Structure 1
Amino acid sequence: MLVGGLLGWAAGQYLCEEEKPVPPPPPPPPPPPPPAPRKIESLTGPSFEFNRAVLTTEGRTHVDHAVQIMRASPTMRVVVEGHTDSVGSHDYNMKLSERRANAARDYMVEKGISASRIKTAWYGETRPVASNATAAGRAKNRRVDIVAE
Structure 2
Amino acid sequence: MRKFVACLTVILLFSACAKPYPQRSPFEVSPVSVKQGEQRITDQVIVITDGSATMVQEANFPEARALTQTFIAAMPEAAVRSKGTETYQAALISFGGAERGGAPLADFNRELLADKAAYLRPLGSLTLLDRVLGEVQDELAGSSGRAAIVIFSDGLPTSEQKTIAAAQSLISNHNGEVCIHTVHTATDAAGGAFLSRLSSLTGCGSTRTGGSLAVASDMDGFQRQIFLGPAALPVVATPGPCESRIVLRGVQFEFDRSQLMSESGVVLDAAVDQLKQCPNVSLRVDGYTCSIGAEGYNDGLSERRADAVRSYLINAGVDSGRLETRAFGESNPVASNATEDGRVQNRRVELSPEQ
Structure 1 and Structure 2 fold alike (TM over 0.5):
yes
1:129 and 2:334 are equivalent in the alignment: yes
1:112 to 314, 317, 326: 317
Alignment correspondent of 1:92: 297
1:20 corresponds to: none
1:72-102 deviation digits (Å, cap 9, x = unpaired): 1111101100000000010000000000000
Amino acid of the structure 2 residue aligned with 1:110: N
TM-score when scaled to structure 1?
A: 0.71
**Larger relative strand fraction:** 2
Letter matched to residue 132 of structure 1: N
Mapped to 1, the partners of 2:330 and 2:351 lie a distance apart of: 17
- Whether 1:103 aligns to 2:308 is yes
Q: Paired residue for 1:79?
A: 284
Conservation of the 8 A alpha-carbon contact between 1:40 and 1:66: no
> What CA distance in whole angstroms lies between the structure 2 residues aligned with 1:39 and 1:93?
26
For 1:87 and 1:38, how far apart are their aligned partners in 2?
A: 31
Q: What is the CA distance between 1:38 and its match in structure 2?
A: 2.6
- CA–CA distance in 2 between the matches of 1:128 and 1:119? 20
8 Å Cα contact 1:84/1:141 also seen in 2 = yes
Give the aligned CA root-mean-square deviation in angstroms.
1.3
Report what 2:245 is aligned to. Answer: 38
The 3-state SS of whatever aligns with 1:38 is coil
Aligned residues: 111
Instruction: Indicate yes or no: 2:338 matched with 1:141.
Output: no
Query: Aligned equivalents of 2:312 and 2:300: distance in 1?
Result: 18
- AA paired with 1:95? G
Q: Tell me how far 1:110 sits from its aligned partner.
A: 0.5
> How far apart are the structure 2 equivalents of 1:127 and 1:39?
18
- Structure 1 residue ranges (4+ consecutive) displaced by more than 3 angstroms after TM superposition: none
Structure 2 stretches of 5 or more lacking a match? 1-243
**Which structure 1 segments of 5+ residues have no match?**
1-36
Q: Is the 8 A contact 1:39 1:145 kept in 2?
A: no
Cα distance in 1 for partners of 2:303, 2:246 equals 18
Q: How far apart are 1:43 and its partner, in Å?
A: 2.1
Q: Which amino acid in the other structure matches residue 301 of structure 2? A: L
- Is 1:38–1:148's contact at 8 Å kept on the other side of the alignment? yes
Q: Tell me, what secondary structure is at the counterpart of 1:57?
A: coil
Counterpart among 259, 274, 281 of residue 54 in structure 1: 259
Partner SS for 2:344: helix
Determine which structure has greater relative contact order: mean sequence separation of CA pairs < 8 Å that are 6+ residues apart, divided by chain length: 1
Identical positions, percent? 41
SS of residue in 1 equivalent to 2:350: strand
1:112-141 Cα offsets, whole Å, 9 max, x none, are: 000000000010000100001111100000
TM-score (norm 2): 0.30
Aligned-pair distance for 1:64?
A: 1.1
Deviation, 1:146, is 0.5
SS of 1:43's equivalent in the other structure is: strand
